[in-house]
Amino acid sequence: MQINPDLQFIKFLKGAGGDTLKKCYQCATCSVVCPLSSDSKPFPRKEMIWAQWGLKDKLVADPDVFLCHQCGDCTAYCPRGAKPGDVLGAIRAYAYTHYGFPAGLAKLATSAKNLPILIGLPAIIILVCWAISGGMHLPAGGHIDFGGFFGHWDFKYLSKTVFFIDAIMLPAAGLAIFSSYMGVSTMWKKMAEGLDTKPDFRPSAVQFVMEFLWPAVQEIISHNRFNECGANKDRAKGHKPLMLAFIGLLIVTTYGFIRKDLIGIINPSMHGPIPLWDPIKILANVSAVAMIYGVFLLWGKRSNDESVSGTQATFYDWFLIYEIAAVGVSGLLAELTRLAGIGSLAYLFYYIHLVAIMMLFLYMPYTKFAHLVYRTFAMAFERYRVSNYVLNKN
- Statement: residue 392 has pLDDT above 60: yes
Mean pLDDT, residues 55-64 taken together: 90
| pLDDT tens for each residue of 324-362 | 999 999 999 998 998 888 888 999 999 999 999 999 999
Evaluate if pTM is beyond 0.75: yes
- The C-alpha atoms of residue 121 and residue 100 are separated, in whole angstroms, by 18
Looking at residue 1, its pLDDT comes to: 55
Closest CA to 35 of 2, 5, 76: 76
- Residue ranges of domains in the chain: 7-98, 103-391
C-alpha distance from residue 59 to each of 10, 116, 170, 315 (Å): 12, 31, 33, 21
The alpha-helical segments, DSSP class H, found in the chain are 7-13, 29-33, 45-53, 56-60, 63-67, 73-77, 84-98, 103-108, 115-132, 160-192, 205-208, 214-222, 224-228, 235-257, 264-266, 279-304, 315-339, 343-363, 371-384, 388-391
- The C-alpha atoms of residue 378 and residue 63 are separated, in whole angstroms, by 5
The dihedral sign for the CA sequence 58, 60, 66, 70: positive
- The C-alpha atoms of residue 254 and residue 347 are separated, in whole angstroms, by 23
- The C-alpha atoms of residue 88 and residue 13 are separated, in whole angstroms, by 9
Higher pLDDT, 55 or 271: 55
Q: What percent of the chain clears pLDDT 70, i.e. is strictly above it?
A: 94
Higher pLDDT, 118 or 157: 118
For Cα atoms 255, 258, 259, give the angle at the middle one, nearest 5 degrees: 80
Looking at residue 187, its pLDDT comes to: 94
| pLDDT tens for each residue of 133-160 | 988 887 766 678 888 889 888 887 778 8
Q: Quote the distance between the C-alpha of residue 17 and its chain's center.
A: 18
Closest CA to 335 of 352, 320, 319: 352
Looking at residue 197, its pLDDT comes to: 67
